[in-house]
Amino acid sequence: MEFERRRVIVRALQGFTLSTGSPIGWAFIRYFSGVDLLQDIEQNFSFYLYLAIGTAIVITSFGAFVGRQEQRLTKMSLVDELTKLYNGRYFHERLLETYAQSIRSETTLSLIMLDIDHFKDINDNYGHFVGDRVLSSVGEAVRQICRSGEIASRVGGEEICVILENCSLNKAVNASERFRLAINSAEVVLDNGKTISVTVSAGVASSETTTTGAWDVYKAADEAMYRAKQSGRNRSCV
């Protein structure tokens, strides 16, 4: 989200630029009123200074405020409210961008598909409120261990996909186990004091072995995740 952080700076600079119009405009008004502008500035220097600095502070601050609001709205449109991970829209855009970059730089793109085991049973047995708490807990666990170059998004009901930039298949498998074990250690405490342990099945794929397109890598990770489900769950498959 570096671009969004720069937005605040850009809006503040735009505000500062606009603020210069205030003293300049007043100077033009005085000039066309027949006043000796240089003498007027000399005699009323403190006023011109106040006009310049005061306007700059106010409009620059307002520009920064507008930038922060734009940043917040943009974040709301790209982040899943429940898990606080990126949403599917952002994932789709970033996957294509990252894959294109990997082709240009001749690096490897890897994906991890995580799916919560027996999530339907959790909803059926405990209710969707508890299911939401499970999703929130999983999202927090994923956020806490995400490293630079790892982009985690909620892409489905209980599915989370992690894009790994410039990451080999072997390293992606290690990262998958890191995520899986972190989620396993996160427990959801119910209102009655009982806890629910959550496991995930993970599928890993890489452009090392799937080079025909970004969505083929995604499909391969999805298929690997289903193999993890079929072979007993709570494991990673390639």
Residue 21 to residues 26, 36, 54, 64, 123, Cα–Cα distance (Å)? 8, 20, 12, 18, 60
> Can you say whether the dihedral through the CA atoms of 53, 54, 56, 57 is positive or negative?
positive
What pLDDT was estimated at residue 193? Answer: 81
Confirm whether 153 is domain-assigned: yes
d(CA 161, CA 219): 11
Q: How far is CA 157 from CA 48, 81, 119, in A?
A: 60, 13, 9
**What pLDDT score was predicted for residue 137?**
94
Q: Is residue 83 part of a domain?
A: no
Last residue of a domain, one of 47, 78, 109: 78
The residues with which 150 forms a beta bridge, in sequence order, are 164
* Average pLDDT for runs of 10 along the chain of length 238: 66 82 83 85 86 86 78 73 93 94 93 96 92 95 95 95 96 97 89 88 90 89 96 96
Based on the fold, state whether residues 128 and 27 are members of the same structural domain: no
Helix axes 21-32, 45-78, angle to 10 degrees: 140
Looking at residue 115, its pLDDT comes to 97
pLDDT at 3: 47
Same domain? For 46 and 152 the reply is: no
Are 152 and 191 contained in the same domain?
Answer: yes
Q: Range of 195's domain?
A: 88-237
For residue 188, what are the β-bridge partners? Answer: 196
- Of the listed 4, 158, 159, 223, which one is catalytic? 158
Whether residues 155 and 115 share a domain: the answer is yes
Q: Is the same domain home to 72 and 103?
A: no
What is the model's pLDDT at position 13? 84
Same domain for 51 and 31: yes
- Catalytic-residue membership of 158: yes
Task: Specify whether 44 is located in the same domain as 93.
Answer: no
Query: Rounded CA gap, 152 and 146, in Å?
Result: 8
pLDDT at site 61: 87
pLDDT of residue 71: 67
- CATH of residue 185's domain is 3.30.70.270
Spatial neighbors of 228 by CB under 8 A, at least 6 apart, are 201, 202, 203, 235, 236, 237
Please indicate, yes or no, whether residues 139 and 230 belong to a single structural domain of this protein: yes
Q: Could you tell me if residue 179 is inside a domain? A: yes
Distance CA 67, CA 63 (A): 6
- Domain total in the chain: 2
Is 148 part of any domain? yes
- Could you tell me if 103 and 221 are in contact, meaning their C-beta atoms sit under 8 angstroms apart? no
User: Do residues 17 and 131 share a domain?
Assistant: no
CA atoms of 90 and 97, how far apart (whole Å): 11
| pLDDT at 143 (0 to 100) | 96
Angle at 115 between CA 143 and CA 234, to 5 degrees: 100
